[in-house]
């Protein structure tokens, strides 16, 4: 008799659980816990600024980036390429919670980057300014942010080489490179597309569009993996060499670079409706998701071809970028349901296995990211852009499931 009763009860429980509304929080990590971590991080930033206010080059320490090799909190100047991500994290927390304290903190840290609108020393003006000022404008509607973003776009296009069809990424290593373009640069195009719509000037759109086309033509191998650095001849525009700066080898698939490409081409499709950009994003996604070295939890090793797999470090930042990109890509692709499920799996993994323990890591949300393994820089540590794209993915998941 007990067996007859038990089976319907189990079926009823399963049925009820399947009818629950979609979760708006990642498995294993709540918004309250995230908020507690970020409050701790803010306290630790203030301590560092009070005890050691200037960086070695004499610039004011502004935002947290990672944890140094000696275990101290790395608080970097406004000119650091990652400086926009922490203000962006605060803006996303405001968007997720509606709590004014996050808005106030976000405004304060965003304002500290104002002079970066003129920093044309590399391509990273897009990272710095659209993650901070771009989110500020989007969430507040405060038009005082517009001139700063417009100037940022003007600064960025000074790096455009018409004969190449790309924005030059870096100025260093000039003995080896003439016009190096990295796959990461796809992430800075959104600033230019925005500027074109804001100002009505097509030059921003045209430069961004051409950069994406040139990158699509020259950065990808037949298997749809991405080269990290493509160097161009500044006179002829021809490809001079292809190599890596942060991956395992010139021929390998550096995991964060693959994620940058996936994200960048997905965003470029949204902003242009150019179908080839969507197709490229889908190809990249399938390369990653079907790669034989992709772990079951979908948090990749720092390079898909790293020689010590499965004992190589994972890169939570690459996973967070990939999840955010997949949540957007699923809106446009015929494989949308599969891409959404994969993004959900990544977020579950990050929230359960790769999250910082409460009160640890100075308050960073995620642990286990990799900056540049070949130079043993930022290996298996928290990094601010991992937190940024994790929260962005959380927001995108929430909005998708609310529809």
Instruction: Write the CATH number for 354.
Output: 1.50.10.10
Catalytic one of 42, 52, 124, 276: 124
Is 115 tagged catalytic? Answer: no
Would you say residue 128 lies in a domain?
Answer: yes
Whether 169 contacts 123, CB under 8 Å: yes
- Determine the pLDDT at residue 403: 84
Q: Is 184 a catalytic residue?
A: yes
Res 47: pLDDT: 98
DSSP 264: H
| Owning domain of residue 58 | 28-402
Each residue's pLDDT expressed in tens, for the chain with a length of 403 residues: 333 333 333 333 333 333 333 233 345 799 999 999 999 999 999 999 999 999 999 999 999 999 999 999 999 999 999 999 999 999 999 999 999 999 999 999 999 999 999 999 999 999 999 999 999 999 999 999 999 999 999 999 999 999 999 999 999 999 999 999 999 999 999 999 999 999 999 999 999 999 999 999 999 999 999 999 999 999 999 999 999 999 999 999 999 999 999 999 999 999 999 999 999 999 999 999 999 999 999 999 999 999 999 999 999 999 999 999 999 999 999 999 999 999 999 999 999 999 999 999 999 999 999 999 999 999 999 999 999 999 999 999 999 999 8
Residue 395 CA to residue 25 CA, distance in Å, equals 9
DSSP string, 124-158: THHHHHIIIIIHHHHHH--GGGHHHHHHHHHHHHT
- Cβ(125)–Cβ(188) below 8 Å: yes
Q: Name every residue whose Cβ is closer than 8 Å to that of residue 339 and which is 6 or more positions away in sequence.
A: 285, 326, 327, 329, 330, 333
How would you class 394 by CB atoms within 10 Å of its CB: exposed for 0-12, middle for 13-18, buried for 19 or more?
A: buried
Does any domain span residue 218? yes
* Domain-located, residue 292: yes
In a domain, 3, yes or no: no
Count structural domains, the chain: 1
Instruction: Assess if residue 2 is contained within a domain.
Output: no
């Amino acid at each position: 008799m007990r067996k007859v009763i038990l089976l319907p009860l189990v079926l009823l429980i399963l049925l009820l659980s399947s009818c629950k509304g979609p979760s708006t929080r990642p498995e294993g990590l709540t918004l309250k816990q995230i908020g507690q971590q970020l409050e701790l991080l803010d306290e630790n930033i203030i301590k560092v600024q009070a005890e050691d206010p200037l960086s070695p080059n004499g610039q004011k320490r502004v935002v947290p980036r990672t944890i140094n090799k000696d275990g101290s909190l790395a608080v970097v100047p406004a000119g650091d390429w990652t400086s926009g991500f922490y203000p962006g994290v605060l803006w996303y927390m405001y968007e997720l919670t509606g709590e004014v304290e996050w808005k106030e903190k976000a405004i304060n840290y965003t304002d500290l980057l104002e002079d970066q609108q003129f920093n044309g020393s590399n391509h990273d003006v897009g990272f710095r300014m659209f993650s901070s000022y771009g989110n500020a404008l989007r969430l507040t509607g405060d038009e005082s942010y517009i001139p700063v973003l417009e100037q940022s776009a003007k600064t960025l296009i000074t790096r455009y080489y018409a004969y190449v069809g790309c924005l030059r990424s870096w100025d260093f290593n000039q003995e080896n490179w003439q016009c190096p373009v990295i796959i990461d640069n796809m992430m800075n195009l959104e600033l230019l597309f925005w500027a074109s719509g804001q100002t009505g000037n097509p030059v921003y759109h045209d430069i961004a569009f051409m950069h994406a086309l040139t990158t699509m033509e020259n950065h990808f191998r037949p298997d749809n993996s991405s080269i990290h650095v493509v160097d161009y001849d500044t006179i002829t525009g021809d490809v001079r060499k292809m190599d890596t700066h942060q991956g395992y080898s010139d021929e390998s698939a550096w995991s964060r670079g693959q994620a940058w490409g996936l994200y960048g081409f997905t965003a470029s499709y949204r902003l242009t409706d150019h179908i080839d950009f969507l197709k490229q994003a889908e190809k990249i996604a399938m390369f990653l998701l079907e790669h034989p070295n992709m772990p079951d939890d979908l948090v990749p090793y720092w390079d898909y071809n790293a020689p010590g797999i499965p004992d190589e470090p994972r890169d939570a930042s690459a996973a967070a970028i990939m999840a955010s990109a997949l949540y957007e890509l699923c809106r446009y692709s015929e494989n949308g349901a599969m891409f959404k499920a994969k993004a959900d799996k990544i977020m579950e993994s990050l929230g359960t296995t790769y999250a910082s323990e409460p009160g640890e890591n100075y308050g960073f949300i995620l642990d286990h990211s990799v900056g540049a393994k070949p130079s043993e820089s930022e290996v298996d540590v928290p990094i601010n852009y991992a937190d940024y794209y994790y929260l962005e993915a959380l927001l995108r998941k929430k909005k998708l499931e609310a529809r």
